[in-house]
Amino acid sequence: MTELHKKAQQLIDDNAVVVFSKSYCPYCSQTKSILDGLDVEYVVYELDRESDGSDLQDALEEISRQRTVPNVYIKQKHIGGNSDIQSLKAAGKLQDLLRDAGAIKA
């Protein structure tokens, strides 16, 4: 396991909700807006603003088989991207996942 693989896994393991994102990505903005609207505590790792971002994105692809952003994890489970978050929200399942993860602010 490479250092970047360990770093990515540590970010996933240490946070109830983590969004791997790029600051200029409209889909990432939509995902963050949904989470903000639900008053969620989450960590954002902006891959385009980190010196190791591209390599970390490669490591995430190895972990999740997803290279695109946003790449979202809730309670250490890979959720997917913006369309997955939107689908969960539309189905009424997103808040339950976030509540179970202890990520909704009281």
Q: Which two tokens stand for residue 61?
A: 């692809």
pTM over 0.85: yes
Tokens 């969960």 — which residue? 88
Domains of the chain in sequence order: 3-100 (3.40.30.10)
- Residue percentage of the chain with pLDDT more than 70: 98
Cβ neighbours of residue 106 closer than 8 Å, sequence gap 6 or more: none
Span 47-79, pLDDT tens digits: 999 999 999 999 999 999 999 999 999 999 999
Span 33-42, pLDDT tens digits: 999 999 999 9
Residue 4 and residue 95: Cα distance in Å, rounded?
Answer: 31
Residue 58 and residue 2: Cα distance in Å, rounded?
Answer: 11
Bridge partners (DSSP) of residue 71 are 20
